[in-house]
Amino acid sequence: MSSLVTPTANPNKRRHQDMMKLMMSDYEVLIPDESCMHDFYVKFDGPPETPYENGSWKIHVTLPADYPFKSPSIGFKNRMFHPNVDDISGSVCLDVINQTWSPMFNLVNIFEQFLPQLLRYPNPTDPLNGEAAALLMRDPDAYNLRIRDHVRQYASAKIDLLGRENDVADDKGKERDSRAACVDVSGTSPGGVAELDLMEGTAEAEEDDGNESDISEMSSD
């Protein structure tokens, strides 16, 4: 298990150190844009001896500008059934992260300690997924069966960090633009991956003479 580290007064240096440790670990890591090292994806396997065992998830991590003094935002890209994970965006409850997070933690700790603990010991009193929380409190056995069903449907296929076919947002007909996180890093709060979509571009199509269409693209860059 990864050891804890001493926080440093230089956040940029600390981010770089933690990224190097994560990339040298046994976890698969994808950084879509190397100029945007604070925004990346990691393959995460469900912890053994839990209903999540044999499942694999693509995790989206974004580091705020003042990491490690503020917690990262963490989101599941393929669907996760859990009281503290939003079923639509896949983001993990901010309160749950902040209750656990310490500047002493590094990025490897997220995948070795924080996420396994989150899946083993959900908090149904502070839910993002009310259905999961209610089922856990009403019928734990049915809750575990529902998790296993979700794992079979959404987390049993091989995770391709470069692929987009299993993304939660794509299931809802939305697209994510990782550039938004790069532009917004100085002001990004760790409140959830969904916040990173605010700077996506939009497109409008207009018909011309019934045969031709002009497409104008607007970008918030």
For the chain, which ranges sit under pLDDT 50? 1-3, 165-221
pLDDT value, residue 30: 94
pLDDT value, residue 174: 40
The C-alpha atoms of residue 75 and residue 72 are separated, in whole angstroms, by: 10
Helix (H, G, I), strand (E, B) or coil at 177: coil
pLDDT value, residue 190: 33
Structure tokens, 140: 């734990």
pLDDT value, residue 185: 35
pLDDT value, residue 165: 43
- Among 52, 67, 79, which residue's Cα sits nearest to residue 19? 67
SS3 content of the chain, % helix, strand, coil (to 5): 35, 15, 50
What 137-144 contacts at long range (C-beta under 8 Å, 24+ apart), as own/partner pairs, is: 144/51
pLDDT value, residue 40: 95
Q: What is the pLDDT of residues 162-185, one digit of tens each?
A: 765 444 444 444 433 333 333 333
The C-alpha atoms of residue 108 and residue 195 are separated, in whole angstroms, by: 24
pLDDT value, residue 4: 52
pLDDT value, residue 8: 53
Helix (H, G, I), strand (E, B) or coil at 98: helix
Q: Phi/psi of residue 166, each to 5°?
A: -105, 10
The C-alpha atoms of residue 124 and residue 129 are separated, in whole angstroms, by: 9
Q: Which residue has the tokens 């070795």?
A: 112
Interior/surface letters 108-140, b for 16+ CB within 10 angstroms, e for the rest: bbbbbebbbebbeebbbeebbbeebbebbeeee
Marked catalytic residue, from 93, 110, 118, 168: 93
pLDDT value, residue 188: 32
The distance between the two most distant Cα atoms of the chain, rounded to a whole number of Å, is 67
DSSP state letter for 159 = P
- Whether 93 is catalytic: yes
- Among 67, 19, 17, 20, which residue's Cα sits nearest to residue 188? 67
